[in-house]
Amino acid sequence: MLDSTRRRQRQLRLLDLYGPLLTDHQRRILHLAWELDWSYGEIAERERVSRTAVYDVIRRTATNLDDYERKLGLARAQHV
């Protein structure tokens, strides 16, 4: 449970830091999923896409956020 809470906090932190590097669509989907805790089905209905498309956007964008942090290290730099 604690690990999932830390992971979620880290994801939200990376979204805050690197959100401007994402497309509007990516930001909107992550906002709905991570900040508002909408289900994939709810997001899919709102965005008029499939649940699989929502899942793919979230998975790919989370990977992109991790890559940005690995390359730029803004979150790491703020903890020093």
Q: What is the pTM of this model?
A: 0.87
pLDDT at 35: 94
Q: Is the pLDDT of residue 2 over 80?
A: no
Domain for residue 34, yes or no?
Answer: yes
Q: How confident is the model at residue 80 (pLDDT cuts 50, 70, 90)?
A: very low
pLDDT at 78: 77
Domain for residue 4, yes or no?
Answer: no
Domain that holds residue 59: 23-78
27-45 pLDDT, tens per residue?
999 999 999 999 999 999 9
CATH number for the domain that contains residue 62:
1.10.10.10
Per the CB < 8 A criterion, the answer to whether 67 and 6 are in contact is no
**Residue 63, Cβ density class (10 Å: 0-12 exposed, 13-18 middle, ≥19 buried):** exposed
Q: What is the chain's mean pLDDT, rounded?
A: 93
Query: Considering its fold, how many domains does the chain have in total?
Result: 1
